[in-house]
Amino acid sequence: MSMATIITLWAIALTSNHHVTDADPWDSYRLPATLVPDHYNVTLWPRLTPDPATGLHVFTGYSSVEFECVEETDLILMHSNKLNYTRLEDTHMATLTAKGGVFAPSIKSSWLQTKTQYLVLQLNGKLVKGQKYQLYSEFTGELADDLEGFYRSEYEEDGVKKVVATSQMHPTHARKTFPCFDEPAMKAIFHINLIHSPGTIALSNGMEKEIINTTISGVAVTQTRFEPTERMSSYLLALIVSDYTHLSTKQGDILIRIWARRKAIEEGHGSYALNLTGPILEFFQQYYNISYPLVKSDQIALPDFYFGAMENWGLVTYRESNLLYDPVTSSNRNRETTASIIAHELAHMWFGNLVTLRWWNEVWLNEGFASYVSYLGADHAEPTWNVKDLIVLDDIHRVFAVDALASSHPLSSREDSIVLPDQINEQFDAISYSKGAAVLRMLSDFLSEPVFVQGLSSYLNNFAYGNTIGTDLWDHLQMAATDTGVTLPGRVGDIMNSWVLQMGFPVVTIDTTMGTVSQKHFLLDPKSTVKSDYEWLIPIRWMKSGEVQKDHWWLMEKTAVNTDMKSAGDWVLANINVTGYYRVNYDSGNWERLLTQLNTDHQAIPLINRAQLVDDAFNLARAKLVPTAQALKTTIYLSGEREYMPWQSALDNMQYYYLMLDRTEVYSPMQDYMRQLVAPLFLYFKNLTSDWTGVPDGHTDQYNQVNAVRMACSTGLTECQNLTVSWFKQWMDNPDHNIIHPNLRSAVYCSAIAAGGAVEWEFGWSQLNNITVASEASMLRSALACTNNKGLLKRYLLYTLDPAMIRKQDATTVITSIASNREGQDLAWDFVREKWNYMFTQYGVGSFSFAALISEVTMRFSTPEELQQLLEFVENTTTGFGSATMAVEQALERTTANIYWVQQNKQEVMDWFTSQR
């Protein structure tokens, strides 16, 4: 049996449990279309101290929902998960009444259908179409530390343990908090009432309306009632009880508040977010041409939070490191992260929250859109950064790597193929976010931004407070294109279908000897057997010897001729600024002309395209469309390049060579070449910063300074290693005074801990345990994985299973950081295999990113032995892979491709690096 056949069989085995077809309505994972909620009244009382009898933290609550019957039925299904119900009147789990003096049918039976997460009520009669009913229930749930639904987060402040009750309803966890119609199209108004300990504050989506102190069963409590929400999906609900404090300001009539631990607010870590939020909200109000729909914008930083952030309407939740910025210890990378994540979440306040896609099969449009416009929002807030260009590195190049695999998937899926909670979670991947952002940026480019924005505003106004499907947006963009006289080769929907309904992307090949232009589905593995006859409608911006051509040229078929692209002496360059979602290949003569231009005067080629040429060449070589030596040649010119984007593109691509070859004899000549390549950049920044006494002014120059230090040290440049070891020693000698600039800390910590031993590692660990700034903690956590001491790495891995040592939300990052260390790769893989069942069952999906874990720990796999181990791991795992199922398929495919690549290229790469000595 061939390896390809084995992998195909495994892929079938992995996905075969995804198709659920059962007869009874409560065995279906989708709600029937019989009932539509109008509003909920929900009261919840989280206990921030454990129950003395059980030792568990719990919450109690009662809720009523008013719904309309739109189709006659004798069955009520509502989502409910991990809730225990009080049997009301000693009989059923809920009571049913009808509005308007009509009698409601009595309840025949009630039970919990655990597998499909329903509260099921069978009735003795039919609900009447057009009649409104109210369902009331009382329940208890665990306020667990599982980062899902209503959960608890703990932290220490001044030696005192503090507990926060907080929430993550997205995508399917509102049902873990109270019984509800937990689907995005089941929009309703929520009236929320929180009962909490005196001295704590309660927050929700609506503004606090009434705060009263009272007693319940002899217990003193505070009760906070909130203004009703706007009509919205259940996944956007947020509930928080804490003893946080806040900063506030106004943007017009909008109240803006930043909430965090008292110490973080007192030390000014919320100020940057506060100052950004107003301008970003103002930008989006103008961009969408719609006022912000709410009266307040709360943003809160949480110690334990699985996602980077969550766009709950009016109360956005963040990981601390993403919202808080400390100018003393945070780097400019942290600052950009804060700006872009705030912009991403606030973009959702309109696109996603005001107008919501009907079902999770089109997650990409929601997340891809917010990812794209987050660059616009951040650019408005920080105009000197040129952050808009970075989408090419951070999203487009990143997702090309995944979308060029045979196991990729289209942006949109069929609605009936995404039903299980794990399938829904799987949708939130790089394809949805980054490819989504890339194709929407391309769409905005070929329509022109004013036309794109006109159609967008019309779409949002038309569907406000409602739900849509993706084609609704195409229809409104088409209307805008027609109104403004934009000429396109087809309707917007037809053009976009080729990018949305097909997986992957094309490589456009331009033969300048003939002027022929062709397209083909680009697959990274030349042996991939994908049966695709895909064709795309491709907008091409191009230039010829320094002159950009005016309009887009559209490639409408497999092969066409553009005589203007025929050239004997001038170089041709296509996909200017990478506004199109495709790679470009050329005839060998044009490649040589482009390489000559790079080596003589690289600035004649636009900055983004210098990064593109490197990235395209390396990936075309991996696909065996150009020689490997040609890809490596694109790096030679870098000895004279000082800009960040081309350097980062080269380092990203060299990372693959390191992953494949750093445990082979190629490692030494590769290190020699990279060291001589980066040495001029290292010396450039040394001089620019007056012998490392400061940092450059430019945002991306600061990034490239970090690259220079990291690469110079990791390739063994003695001057760099002496510098980082000396800085780290000065810090160890005076732990209260860290002289290392925040931008450089990540690189310096890693270099010094790698060069050092147990003493340096223990110092880093003790600093990690004393630090209160999340971004600094994140740098130390990653740096501790840089040690070459296997005993320390093993101990660090074990810490990930103890939440007292490493928070659950950070465990994945620690394991993957260790796997990225060539000394830690095998240790991390052994650990994941040994502990998988434990992690999968004990750590909920809200704690571990299982997909990232599988993806990162197998990233280096490039031998038949490793493939065999991976296959055995899949076969022997009894718990399954849940949301990591797709990641396992990709790992199998990627490992097979890696084995082939090493066999085909190792000697050529060895010879090339050796020839450069």
- d(CA 787, CA 794) in angstroms, rounded, equals 11
| 566-571, long-range: CB < 8 A, 24+ apart | 566/512, 566/513, 566/514, 566/515, 567/512, 568/512, 568/513, 569/593, 570/544, 570/545, 571/544, 571/545, 571/597
171: cis peptide before it, omega within 30°?
yes
**Rounded distance, CA 511 to CA 269, Å?**
55
d(CA 773, CA 758): 24
Helix (H, G, I), strand (E, B), or coil: what is residue 212? Answer: strand
Radius of gyration of the chain measured on its C-alpha atoms: 28
Residue 298 dihedral angles phi and psi, to the nearest 5°: -95, 140
Give me the catalytic one of 183, 230, 345, 760.
345
Identify the burial level of 875 via C-beta atoms within 10 angstroms of its C-beta, where 0-12 means exposed, 13-18 middle and 19 or more buried.
Answer: exposed
Distance CA 451, CA 428 (A): 29
From the list 139, 138, 163, 137, the residue with the least C-alpha distance to 151 is: 163
The DSSP bridge partners found for residue 506 are 521
Inter-helix orientation angle 436-447/492-500, to 10°: 160
Q: How far apart are CA 283 and CA 685, in angstroms?
A: 35
Sign of the Cα torsion 368, 373, 377, 382 reads: positive
Q: Which of 193, 223, 218, 198 is nearest to 40 (CA)?
A: 193
Answer yes or no: are the C-beta atoms of 890 and 883 closer than 8 Å: no
- Cα angle 784, 788, 789; round to 5: 85
Catalytic annotation on 345? yes
Q: By the 8 A CB rule, do 265 and 247 touch? A: yes
Instruction: Give which of 395, 389, 373, 388 is closest to 280, Cα–Cα.
Output: 373
Which amino acid would we find at residue 517? V
Give residue for tokens 């919202």. 323
Structure tokens at 252: 């017009």
384: closest CA among 702, 609, 695? 702
Instruction: Report the run of H or E that residue 315 belongs to, with start and end.
Output: strand 315-319
Task: Work out the number of other CB atoms within 10 angstroms of the CB of residue 70.
Answer: 14
Q: Which two tokens stand for residue 785?
A: 């994985």
The residue among 286, 284, 315, 283 whose CA lies nearest residue 301 is: 315
Distance in Å from the first CA to the final CA of the chain: 44
The total of other beta-carbon atoms located within 10 Å of residue 589's CB is 15
Q: How far is CA 21 from CA 18, 415, 464, 570, in A?
A: 10, 15, 34, 61
Contact 119, 137 (CB under 8 A): yes
- Taking CA atoms, 905 is separated from 134, 344, 484, 668, 865, in Å, by 68, 41, 52, 16, 19
- What is the residue type of 349? M
Contact 244, 260 (CB under 8 A): yes
Q: Where are the alpha helices (DSSP H) in 427-485?
A: 430, 436-447, 449-463, 470-484
What is the DSSP secondary structure assignment for residue 29, as one 8-state letter?
A: S
Angle between helices 588-601 and 607-622 (to 10 degrees): 140
Instruction: List, in sequence order, every residue forming a beta bridge with 149; answer none if it has no partner.
Output: 168
Q: How many CB atoms lie within 10 A of CB 89?
A: 6
Residues marked active site are found at: 345
